[in-house]
């Protein structure tokens, strides 16, 4: 009887193990691949190394060194990229893969959770092909991002590695609530929770249903109706309870926050990252620096929306708030960069079309970063924020074989990252415009 019961539970245990480590079906067994690169960018030092070879077995890198030292055998697959620059796969710490920019305002009410997950499957492929092999998805309806992550891990659909939050947590009537329907519908988003006891319960519920991290709304937002991006939402006590519960259960916390008060409260509560921060003041920037809290800037969306928001038939409340935030947001983050606040790359892709993620780099450079510093936000710093520094972020032995290749030198022109020609995830080529 014991063996029969064990045999029933074994597949579930194996699947849970796959989820925990981020990759399951379709992982290569012992296949050996050697990628011979004209140049490899060491994102830690900024050194550009010539004539290098990356040796891969299964889904992991086993060595990186001079091409002449790479041992080849008849069974070894070789990939030659003699004129390309190879970098680690990029990391976007703020995406919404299951959302689409066409579904603004009331348009979004007609999207079911299953449809949202399928929209995510399309956007996951586009994002991966743009060179982003890992993303943090911070907010989705009905745990559709959990379903998408699991489908990618099972090999059902192509996409980046995903850490997901499920429904973002927020107060009644706040940025993460649903304020578009009339009162008789009693519409409330799944992530809404008010009061210390309720937010503790909601953290546990999100984790129960598959969340890798917790996303909260500490201030009002831009794309929501009836709230103010400057106004704080969760209280200090509520945020401290959320962070304490999440960290105790091994999850990090990302806080949507625009206004200065909400940024400072969230940072002091111990959140791991502030998302946006577009309306910060000098005091809240200093708080981030003091506490070592990451900022995830999401800045290119302002450039894109200046050119395109009027063409999208966006609701008036979205247009007004976007204009307010865009007027000061980039200058605010320029101050944060200069102050030495820790920065991890993030885009808010879904506010604008997925696949344009790499346009964010040029904004960081325009605001004072060197190209290398900008690239580091999407490699070593992104990996640190996600807690995956031992797995991604650099091209080193023991890490997942996630890498991209571009023409030219991104240290001279960071916009070359907008045209990724080669993408490998876990030792599998998912895009190759160079041929064999």
The residues that are catalytic are 215, 348
Q: For residue 400, how many other CB atoms are within 10 A of its CB?
A: 26
Alpha helix ranges (H) inside 216-295? 236-248, 260-269, 282-291
Give dist(CA 165, CA 153) in Å, integer.
16
Residue 66's contacts (CB-CB under 8 Å, 6 or more residues apart) are 51, 52, 53
Collapse the DSSP code of 287 into the 3-class scheme (helix H, G, I; strand E, B; otherwise coil) and give the result.
Answer: helix
Place of tokens 């703020």: 94
DSSP secondary structure of 376-409: HHTTHHHHHHHT-TTTSSS--TTSB--EEEEES-
Q: What tokens appear for 392 in the block? A: 């991604």
What's the Cα-to-Cα distance from 330 to each of 194, 310, 428, rounded to whole Å?
Answer: 32, 20, 37
Looking from the CA of 360 toward its CB, the CA atoms found within 13 Å total 35
294-296 β-sheet, strand order: 213-217, 252-259, 273-279, 294-296
What's the Cα-to-Cα distance from 86 to each of 31, 252, 429, rounded to whole Å?
Answer: 21, 30, 14
Q: What tokens appear for 184 in the block? A: 């008789």
Give the residue from 38, 117, 45 showing the smallest Cα distance to 85.
Answer: 38
105 backbone φψ class: left, alpha, beta (φ>0; ψ -120 to 50): left
Please say whether the beta carbons of 267 and 288 come within 8 A: yes
φ, ψ (nearest 5 deg) of residue 334: -60, -40
Give dist(CA 266, CA 309) in Å, integer.
30
Give dist(CA 390, CA 99) in Å, integer.
30
């Amino acid at each position: 009887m014991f063996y029969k019961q064990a045999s029933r539970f074994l597949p579930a245990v194996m699947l849970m193990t796959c989820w925990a480590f981020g990759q399951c079906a379709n992982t290569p067994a012992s296949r050996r691949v050697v990628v011979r690169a004209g140049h490899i960018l060491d994102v830690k030092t900024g050194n550009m190394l010539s004539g290098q070879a990356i040796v891969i077995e299964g889904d992991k890198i086993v060595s990186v060194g001079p091409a002449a030292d790479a041992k080849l055998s008849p069974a070894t697959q070789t990939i030659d990229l003699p004129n390309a620059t190879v970098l680690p796969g990029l990391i976007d710490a703020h995406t919404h893969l299951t959302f689409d920019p066409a579904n603004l305002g009331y348009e979004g009410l007609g999207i079911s959770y299953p449809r949202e997950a399928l929209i995510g499957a399309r956007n996951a492929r586009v994002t991966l092909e743009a060179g982003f092999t890992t993303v943090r998805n911070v907010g989705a309806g009905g745990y559709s991002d959990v379903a998408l992550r699991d489908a990618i891990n099972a090999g059902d659909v192509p996409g980046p590695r995903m850490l997901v939050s499920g429904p973002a947590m927020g107060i009644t009537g706040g940025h993460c609530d649903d304020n578009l329907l009339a009162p008789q519908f009693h519409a409330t988003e799944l992530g809404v929770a008010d009061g210390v006891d309720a937010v503790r319960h909601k953290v546990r519920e999100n984790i129960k249903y598959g969340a890798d991290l917790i996303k909260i709304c500490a201030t009002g937002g831009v794309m929501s109706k009836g709230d103010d991006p400057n106004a704080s939402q969760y209280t200090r006590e509520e945020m401290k309870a959320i962070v304490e519960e999440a960290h105790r259960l091994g999850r990090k916390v990302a806080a949507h926050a625009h206004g200065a008060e909400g940024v400072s409260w969230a940072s002091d509560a111990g959140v791991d990252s502030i998302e946006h921060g577009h309306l910060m003041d000098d005091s809240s920037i200093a708080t981030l620096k003091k506490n070592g809290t990451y900022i995830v800037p999401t800045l290119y969306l302002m450039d894109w929306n200046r050119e395109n928001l009027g063409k999208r038939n966006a609701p008036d409340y979205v247009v007004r708030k976007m204009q307010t935030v865009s007027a000061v947001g980039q200058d605010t983050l320029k101050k944060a960069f200069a102050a030495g606040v820790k920065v991890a790359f993030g885009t808010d892709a879904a506010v604008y079309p997925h696949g344009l993620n790499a346009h964010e780099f040029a904004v960081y450079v325009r605001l004072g970063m060197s190209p290398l510093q900008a690239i580091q936000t999407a490699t070593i710093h992104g990996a640190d924020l996600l807690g995956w520094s031992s797995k991604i972020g650099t091209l080193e032995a023991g890490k997942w074989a996630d890498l991209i290749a571009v023409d030219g030198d991104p240290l001279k022109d960071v916009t070359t990252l907008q045209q990724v020609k080669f993408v490998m995830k876990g030792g599998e080529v998912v895009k190759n415009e160079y041929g064999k």
